[in-house]
């Protein structure tokens, strides 16, 4: 699990997420359970975080995790 995974799953602020994105955090990396930060943000119910992750210019979301 990366710092971005933790930030996405815990509804951190926009500033926290932007700081991680600008420092080159991989927004499509998967944790041991196969979840990306986007999956975790959706599970946490954080629409703002989901929007930030989807609008990241270098993110390419092409897959699903084991739950869909």
pLDDT of 63? 60
> Percent of the chain, pLDDT > 90?
0
Residue 63: HSE in the Cβ half-sphere, 13 Å Cα cutoff: 10
pLDDT digits (tens, 9 = 90+) for 28-59: 788 888 888 888 889 989 888 888 888 877 67
Q: Which two tokens stand for residue 45?
A: 């119910």
Residue 54: HSE in the Cβ half-sphere, 13 Å Cα cutoff: 9
Average pLDDT value over all residues in the chain: 75
Under 8 Å between Cβ of 53 and 8: yes
């Amino acid at each position: 699990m990366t710092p971005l995974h933790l930030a996405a799953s815990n509804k951190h602020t926009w500033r926290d997420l932007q700081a991680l994105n600008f420092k080159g955090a991989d927004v499509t990396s998967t944790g041991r359970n196969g979840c990306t930060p986007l999956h975790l943000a959706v599970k946490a119910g954080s629409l703002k975080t989901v929007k930030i992750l989807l609008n990241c210019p270098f993110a390419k979301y092409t897959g699903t995790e084991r739950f869909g």
